[in-house]
Amino acid sequence: MRLLLIFVLLYAYAAIRYHVAKEQVDFIHFPFVLNKAIAWTAGTLFVLSILPDKILQKFQLGRRVVGVWGYRLAVVHILASIILLCPELYPKFYTETTLNSAGWRHILFGASSIALFTVPLWASWKNAPNDDYRYRFGRWGILMNLVHVASIGASGWLKVDTWPWLMPPITLLFVGFGVFVVILRYTRYSKN
């Protein structure tokens, strides 16, 4: 239920920002914005998975549940992105009707991220102990995911005048949250 609440809150933000503030209400925009919320939720769950168990337990969450649901949503995001990939929705990824080098770079970062997340998922399926080296690949997956998202949206982060209703871009919010959790995890909780 808590994971559903996270998705609903993130989707509400995305819907307000894109459908209401940016007035993107063509039929194609609805699955596009839904996919943004799915990706944002997946990334958030991956980031939450590096928090110490004692913090996750306060919210009645477990690392395995958070990580597995993050992976499932990431797969849905990938499939939806493949279906939705077009110049109208992803203009920065295209030169006219051809996927450009920036588009391929974003795809490569995303593919690298999911490949890295597959290793700890496999360890989890094998019920590996918490100190198994395969879980460390998830940390690299999180960093690659942050690079993937930053590479897509960083060019608009400082253009506050282009933010609809002064609502920060989802990419900025996600990367900011991710960096905060990484710093928190590896400074305050590194001994746990």
Q: Please name each of the domains of the chain with its CATH number.
A: 2-187 (1.20.120)
CA distance 6 to 160: 26
Distance of CA 40 to the CA centre of its chain: 4
Instruction: Note whether 114 and 104 are within 8 A (CB).
Output: no
For 31-151, where are the E strands, in sequence order?
Answer: 94-95, 98-99
pLDDT at 190: 63
Quick check: 9 pLDDT over 90? yes
Q: What is the pLDDT of residues 31-71, one digit of tens each?
A: 999 999 999 999 999 999 999 888 999 999 999 999 999 99
Q: Could you report the per-residue pLDDT of 35-45, keeping only the tens digit for each?
A: 999 999 999 99
Number of H helices, E strands in the chain: 7, 2
Question: What confidence score (pLDDT) does residue 186 get?
Answer: 85
**Predicted confidence (pLDDT) at residue 106 exceeds the cutoff of 90:** yes
Instruction: Kindly report, residue by residue over 130-181, the tens digit of the pLDDT.
Output: 889 999 999 999 999 999 999 999 999 999 999 999 999 999 999 999 999 9
Q: How far apart are CA 41 and CA 164, in angstroms?
A: 21
> Which residues is 95 bridged to in the sheet?
98
**Position 192 pLDDT exceeds 90:** no
**What's the predicted TM-score (pTM) here?**
0.94
- Rounded to whole angstroms, how far apart are CA atoms 67 and 49? 6
Half-sphere exposure of 69 toward its Cβ, with a 13 Å CA cutoff? Answer: 20
- Residue 191's pLDDT is 57
